[in-house]
């Protein structure tokens, strides 16, 4: 338990840093957005460390503060900044970012073993999302070598987006809120605590954003540039 208490948060923080690094390479966004994101993460850590998100009976749920702003930003960029999203993003890094899902699944497995989340949120239960992380570098390599075209990469993004939505819905419906539908014997409380709150507040939105940006880029007929392949 002592080793896990050290290894697990270390693994998770490294995963957050890797996600940030790849995301920074994936999109050439205005500097203020990066500064906003840098301020966002410690705010979420502070709130969760003080038990803010463990109050699950309030309406609207406190947890809306963790997932609402990132979702709003993704919708804003997708609808109102689509040209910037398509032209200033790199397919290579949008694709490779999904490798962090391997580490995320290991973190979820540890949290399950510690009694913090239900089994259905792990790859031992109803969450096959680790396959998205495993296949990401393979699919990108096949695309880079011309073995898979735009349509193939597009299909992969859509399938893996469905996998992401599967675990997101299960996680939300397993949390001890008025909307809970699953895992009443072992609810999802692990991601309401520090530092794991950054999973729904940062990593999941980053993964979602990467899928949305890649799907827009691949489906809008933009010619793929060298920047996308390097």
Main-chain dihedrals φ then ψ at residue 84, nearest 5 degrees:
-60, -40
Identify the burial level of 67 via C-beta atoms within 10 angstroms of its C-beta, where 0-12 means exposed, 13-18 middle and 19 or more buried: middle
The predicted-structure confidence for 51-81, as pLDDT tens digits, reads as follows: 999 998 888 889 999 999 999 999 999 988 8
**d(C-alpha 119, C-alpha 219), whole Å:** 36
pLDDT at residue 82, as a whole number: 86
pTM: 0.95
Nearest to 48 by CA among 69, 66, 71: 66
Inform me whether the pLDDT recorded for 2 exceeds 80: no
Which residue in the block uniquely carries the two structure tokens 């989340």? Answer: 117
Q: Which of 77-81, 99-103, 122-126 has the lowest mean pLDDT?
A: 77-81
Domain ranges of the chain: 2-229
**d(C-alpha 166, C-alpha 187), whole Å:** 17
Reported confidence tier of residue 4, pLDDT bands at 50, 70, 90: confident
Using alpha carbons, list the distances in angstroms from residue 191 to 82, 175, 227: 31, 9, 36
pLDDT at residue 19, as a whole number: 98
Mean pLDDT value across the chain? 93
């Amino acid at each position: 338990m002592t080793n896990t208490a050290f290894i697990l948060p270390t693994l998770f923080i490294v995963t957050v840093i890797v996600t940030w690094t790849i995301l920074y390479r994936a999109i050439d966004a205005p500097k203020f957005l990066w500064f906003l994101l840098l301020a966002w993460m410690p705010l979420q850590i502070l709130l969760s460390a003080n038990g803010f998100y463990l109050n699950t009976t309030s309406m609207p749920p406190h947890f809306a503060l963790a997932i609402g702003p990132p979702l709003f930003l993704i919708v804003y960029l997708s609808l109102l900044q689509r040209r910037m999203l398509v032209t200033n993003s790199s397919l290579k890094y949008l694709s490779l970012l999904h490798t962090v899902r391997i580490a995320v699944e290991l973190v979820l497995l540890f949290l399950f073993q510690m009694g913090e989340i239900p089994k259905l949120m792990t790859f031992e239960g109803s969450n096959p999302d680790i396959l998205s992380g495993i296949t990401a570098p393979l699919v990108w390599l096949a695309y880079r070598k011309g073995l898979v075209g735009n349509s193939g990469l597009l299909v992969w993004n859509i399938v893996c987006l469905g996998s992401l939505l599967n675990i997101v819905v299960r996680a939300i419906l397993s949390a001890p809120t008025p909307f809970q539908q699953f895992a009443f014997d072992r609810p999802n409380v692990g991601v309401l605590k520090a530092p794991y709150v950054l999973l729904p507040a940062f990593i999941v939105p980053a993964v979602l954003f990467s899928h949305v940006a890649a799907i827009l880029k691949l489906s809008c007929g933009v010619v793929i540039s060298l920047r996308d392949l390097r």
